[in-house]
């Protein structure tokens, strides 16, 4: 387990032993697993450069969704080093292991790069994929050595042990790599309204900072927090630079949803210098060598310290660099920008996974059963799966014969498991303007109602497309190019139903509980927002079916005495502020994005019949976040109270209690609610917040 900062030589830590083994035994094999296709392509170029001059014909290639059929056969038959991603390993290699017997029977090394990315839902899924991989290797008689690398996190050894289910792991964390001087700038946009705590848009400020550098030929990467922000920022920068530069070619966007050849073209342009700037989501966060980038601008806090350092590390891999963090109005951003010592001096966060989540385990058990029969007492990794096998026998998915369990259906179970998203099917985006309509991208099913509803303005590569029709049954969105001075943003209504209570209620004043929830989300209306001024210029309804999510959550109820003293209107504002604050503070503690958690405030919950704040996981079945929030109940309340107490606004603002309208006493009500369940009054300074 190798854990050092960016550009410190981690790649050599696995390439050198692999090359050494292949020189000594050319019939042996290695499997490299990267979390993204882009990273695999980058590492392919690096290893291909290393192999020149070796006395053997070393065959190295990537095997992913972009690999042509002709190359796939050659890789299966003769690839010494096969580079892939967890998705392809899960759905392309393991279910077809008989075609890959040469690889699996001779496998000496498995490399897992960027281990810190394997946390939450994705990490829990990948842990089960690795269980299946080890089972296939054992069937073919191999016992590979695992080499893992990671950016700096607090628990790399524990995460590796849980991901691999191995105790004998050696930790290497001493870094001797030199690097150029790096200047970090923490920039808080100016206040526009001190009473409300409203600041100038972080997008507009980042645009103002980036444009002169790009115009001067300084190769710059701008990281935005969402696909929508990427497209808006791309439009802004191209408008600023068009008179002086070939802006459409020199400034490019990069995010999921772009087609593979498009992404490869952008990566090559960055390396060659033909592209001066790229605006990206975290798709370019990982250790990709994308040329001599000199500046990195982060529009908002990426959500974890590890991700922040990864994004800043994209610049200065070969020389000095400048990194600029432009804070938004979110609580985490404001906390970081007011207290940079927290970011610079504190230990990074921990990665959490739960491979034994019943929903995930059941899916991967079916996939494993399709791959190889299970013996009567066999486990999947360390998980006892006997009861699940009996359940599968009852529904006709499995049959038992001669002390072994066999898959009984015609279905291909791996197809039903998607490692990175909730919904099973993506929505394909089709441009109808050419004589022959063409696919320009895709979007996951859970996001589509918000961004691809009818009358939406969808942004892609800086161009605007009007959504003519969203065929929900066929999962197709039909769009055509337009030029308008606005973009659209949608609102969704969320309701919560408690299905089962695992623990609680416990406590007085504010009681805590933890259990299984049903979350219902309905996108009901959208807004039209004008570019530059960001003013609301119109709205409309959305007519799409509701989305449901069965997950786990942690909820807090307010007792009747406290309820009465606050009054209904003040209580409602306080509850909304509390939900907003707890969601952000919890993400800080759990090393997850705030978007991995949802939060709902109810003045009268259908289940508890009391004022209730619920923080839930955005993944089916949950991955352990809510159980941990239940354990950290009092600490979360204390940290939330500190965050609100330390905010300089007068009556509540987006930096503490959320985007509430001025409700008299809202901030005080939120603070009172938070302090009611805390062990002591909030600290006078937010710098007292623990990691």
Query: What are the mean pLDDT values of the chain's consecutive 10-residue runs (691 residues total)?
Result: 80 91 92 84 79 81 82 86 92 93 94 89 92 96 94 86 93 78 90 72 92 89 84 87 75 75 77 83 64 84 80 73 88 80 70 85 92 91 90 89 89 83 70 87 74 84 82 89 85 85 84 90 85 78 83 89 73 87 85 81 86 88 86 87 81 73 75 75 36 30
Task: Report the b/e string of 388-405 with b at 16+ CB within 10 A.
Answer: bbeebeeeebbebeeeeb
Helices (H), ranges, 375-508: 386-394, 448-451
Query: Torsions phi, psi of 114, nearest 5?
Result: 55, 55
Q: Residue 322: CA atoms inside 13 Å, Cβ hemisphere, count? A: 14
Distance CA 229, CA 221 (A): 14
Give me the architecture of the 182-345 domain, per CATH. Answer: 3-Layer(aba) Sandwich (3.40)
- Determine the 3-state secondary structure of 378 from DSSP: coil
Region for residue 211 given its phi and psi (left: phi exceeds 0; alpha: psi -120 to 50; beta: otherwise): alpha
Nearest to 671 by CA among 562, 549, 551: 562
Sign of the four-CA dihedral 92, 148, 355, 119: negative
Helices (H), ranges, 69-153: 69-78, 86-88, 101-105, 120-139
Distance CA 518, CA 505 (A): 18
CATH of 2-164, one of 2.30.42.10, 3.30.70.100, 3.90.870.10, 3.40.50.300: 3.40.50.300
Distance CA 677, CA 219 (A): 50
Question: Of how many residues is the chain composed?
Answer: 691
Distance CA 552, CA 8 (A): 39
Nearest to 38 by CA among 280, 306, 219: 280
SS (H, E, C) 213-229: HHHCCCCEEEECCCHHH
Distance CA 589, CA 40 (A): 31
- Determine the 3-state secondary structure of 211 from DSSP: helix
Nearest to 459 by CA among 224, 297, 269: 224
Domain spans, the chain? 2-164, 182-345, 426-484, 493-521+547-688
In this structure, how many other beta carbons lie within 10 angstroms of the beta carbon of residue 249? Answer: 11
Give yes or no for a contact between 135 and 170, defined as CB atoms under 8 angstroms apart. no
Mind giving me the DSSP string for 431-468? E-SSSS-EEEEEEETTTHHHHSSTT-EEEETTEEEEEE
Distance CA 514, CA 512 (A): 7
Task: Please report, for residues 38, 289, 536, 569, the alpha-carbon distance to residue 285 in angstroms, rounded to integers and kept in the order given.
Answer: 10, 11, 32, 43
Contacts of 374 (CB under 8 A, 6+ apart): 368, 385, 389, 404, 405
Provide the pLDDT for residue 659: 63
Distance CA 118, CA 102 (A): 28
Sheet containing 404-407, strands listed edge to edge, beginning at the edge strand earlier in sequence: 374-375, 404-407, 398-401
Sign of the four-CA dihedral 358, 359, 360, 363: positive
Distance CA 413, CA 406 (A): 13
Distance CA 47, CA 16 (A): 10
Provide the pLDDT for residue 682: 37
In this structure, how many other beta carbons lie within 10 angstroms of the beta carbon of residue 30? Answer: 28
This prediction has a pTM of 0.74
Give yes or no for a contact between 451 and 490, defined as CB atoms under 8 angstroms apart. yes
Give yes or no for a contact between 489 and 537, defined as CB atoms under 8 angstroms apart. no
Distance CA 146, CA 123 (A): 16
- Determine the 3-state secondary structure of 263 from DSSP: helix
Q: Quick one: which H or E segment has residue 640? A: helix 633-646
Query: Torsions phi, psi of 513, nearest 5?
Result: -145, 165
Task: Report the b/e string of 159-186 with b at 16+ CB within 10 A.
Answer: bbebbbeeeeeeeeeeeeeebeeeeeeb
């Amino acid at each position: 387990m190798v854990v050092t900062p960016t550009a410190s030589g981690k790649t050599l830590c696995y390439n050198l032993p692999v090359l050494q083994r292949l020189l000594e035994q050319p019939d042996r094999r290695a499997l490299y697993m990267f979390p993204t296709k882009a990273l695999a392509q980058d590492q392919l170029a690096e290893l291909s450069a290393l192999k020149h001059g070796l006395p053997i014909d070393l065959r190295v290639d990537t095997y992913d969704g972009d690999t042509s059929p002709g190359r796939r056969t050659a890789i299966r038959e003769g690839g010494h080093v096969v580079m892939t991603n967890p998705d392809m390993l899960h759905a392309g290699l393991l279910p077809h292991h008989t075609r890959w017997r040469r690889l699996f029977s001779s496998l000496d090394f498995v490399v897992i790069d960027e281990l810190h990315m394997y946390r939450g839902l994705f990490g829990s899924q990948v842990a089960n994929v690795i269980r299946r991989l080890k089972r296939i290797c054992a069937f073919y008689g191999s016992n590979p050595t695992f080499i893992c690398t990671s950016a700096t996190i607090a628990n790399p050894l524990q995460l590796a042990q849980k991901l691999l289910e191995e105790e004998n792991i050696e930790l290497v964390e001493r870094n001797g790599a030199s690097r150029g001087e790096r200047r970090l700038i923490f920039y808080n946009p100016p206040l526009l309204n001190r009473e409300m705590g409203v600041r100038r848009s972080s997008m507009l400020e980042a645009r103002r900072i980036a444009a002169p550098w790009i115009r001067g030929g300084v190769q710059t990467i701008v990281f935005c927090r969402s696909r929508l922000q990427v497209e808006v920022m791309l439009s802004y920068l191209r408008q600023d630079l068009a008179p002086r530069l070939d802006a459409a070619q020199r400034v490019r966007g990069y995010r999921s949803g772009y087609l593979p050849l498009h992404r490869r073209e952008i990566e090559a342009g960055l390396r060659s210098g033909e592209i001066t700037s790229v605006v990206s989501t975290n798709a370019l966060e990982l250790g990709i060598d994308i040329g001599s980038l000199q500046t990195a601008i982060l529009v908002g806090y990426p959500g974890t310290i590890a991700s922040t350092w990864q994004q800043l590390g994209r610049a200065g891999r070969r020389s000095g660099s400048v990194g600029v963090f432009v804070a938004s109005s979110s609580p985490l951003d404001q906390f970081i920008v007011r207290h940079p010592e927290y970011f610079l001096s504190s230990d990074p966060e921990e990665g959490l996974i739960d491979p034994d989540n019943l929903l995930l385990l059941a899916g991967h058990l079916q996939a494993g059963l399709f791959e190889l029969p299970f013996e009567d007492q066999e486990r999947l990794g360390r998980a006892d799966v006997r009861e699940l096998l009996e359940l599968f026998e009852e529904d006709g998915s499995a049959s038992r014969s001669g002390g072994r369990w066999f898959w009984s259906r015609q279905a291909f179970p791996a197809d039903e498991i998607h490692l990175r998203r909730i919904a099973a099917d993506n929505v394909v985006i089709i441009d109808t303007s050419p004589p022959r309509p063409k696919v320009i991208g895709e979007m996951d099913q859970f996001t589509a109602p918000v961004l691809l509803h009818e009358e939406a303005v969808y942004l892609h590569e800086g161009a605007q497309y009007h959504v003519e029709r969203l065929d929900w049954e066929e999962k197709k969105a039909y769009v055509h190019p337009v030029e308008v001075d606005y973009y659209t943003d949608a609102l969704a209504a969320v309701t919560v139903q408690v299905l089962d209570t695992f623990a609680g209620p416990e406590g007085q004043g504010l009681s805590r509980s933890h259990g299984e929830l049903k979350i219902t989300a309905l996108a009901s209306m959208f807004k039209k927002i004008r570019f530059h001024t960001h003013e609301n210029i119109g709205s409309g309804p959305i007519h799409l079916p509701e989305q449901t999510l069965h997950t786990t959550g942690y909820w807090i109820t307010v007792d009747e005495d406290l309820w009465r003293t606050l009054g209904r209107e003040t209580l409602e504002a306080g509850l909304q502020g509390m939900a907003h604050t707890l969601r952000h503070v919890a993400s800080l503690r759990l090393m997850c994005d705030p978007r991995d958690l949802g939060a709902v405030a109810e003045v009268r919950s259908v289940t508890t019949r009391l004022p209730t704040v619920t923080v839930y996981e955005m993944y089916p079945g949950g991955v352990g976040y809510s159980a941990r929030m239940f354990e950290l109940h009092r600490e979360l309340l204390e940290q939330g109270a500190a965050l609100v107490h330390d905010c300089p606004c007068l009556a509540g603002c987006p930096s503490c209690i959320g985007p509430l309208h001025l409700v008299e006493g809202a901030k005080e009500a939120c603070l009172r609610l938070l302090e009611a369940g805390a062990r002591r009054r909030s600290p006078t300074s937010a710098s007292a917040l623990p990691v």
